[in-house]
Amino acid sequence: MKARTPLSAPGRGNASAPSHADSEASPIVTFTRMDQGTAEDYALLDELAKPYIVKTGKRVLAYLENIADGFPGYPIDRCQHSLQTATRALRAGECEEYVVAALLHDIGDDLSPENHAELGASVLRPYVARHTHWMVQQHGLFQGYYYFDKIGLDANARLRHRSHPAFDMTVDFCDAYDQKSFDPDYDTLPIDHFVPMVERIFARKPWGEHTTRDWPVRD
């Protein structure tokens, strides 16, 4: 298959001079529109994507810091809130998948503040059980139980989902961990404590057996 070297990005000068490891540029596909791609093109893309996908957990952890600047007015920032939520879940004995979901439940706040729960759930979905995904996806609505009545909305809106198997799981998540985690005096664990957990969850095979289960299990 013919490989071409991509053009250099303009305006970077010597600031991003390639290292020895980058001296040989990665091959790129031959097409400029996807309907002209060959089987060899797509096999190449699949192979090149593998090391990038492996680093998903590291990118997620790096991005978590971005939400620290969102939603002013709370006693602690959103990153600290996420760490505190995960700390409470860990200390209560929740499994690793649950703790990682607690850590990342608000990761969508920065890019998608109006539907952050859905974005956070989508990040987790290829690596977690169905009900873990659903819990994160619905936690924004379930959190409304604690304040919707104060802003003219229905605090019991979560009841529309009362027949769902993960209803109680999501109620418990919000009550025991999420809604309590705005305390600047709480002994919150640092991000380094959770790094191995996040990396293990995102090291799972995407859309593997974990995603076919209803409930998370202890590894």
Q: Band of the pLDDT at 26, cuts 50, 70, 90?
A: confident
Domain boundaries, the chain: 57-212
Determine the Cα–Cα distance for residues 159 and 170; give it in Å rounded to an integer. 12
216, HSE (Cβ side, Cα atoms, 13 Å) = 23
pTM score, two decimals?
A: 0.85
Q: What is the pLDDT of residues 65-92, one digit of tens each?
A: 889 988 899 999 999 999 999 999 999 9
Q: Kind and range of the H or E element at 163?
A: none
Token digits of residue 160: 């529309």
Q: What is the pLDDT of residues 146-183, one digit of tens each?
A: 999 999 999 999 999 999 999 999 999 999 999 999 99
If 0-12 CB within 10 Å is exposed, 13-18 middle and 19+ buried, where does residue 142 land?
buried
Fold of 57-212: Hypothetical protein af1432 (1.10.3210)
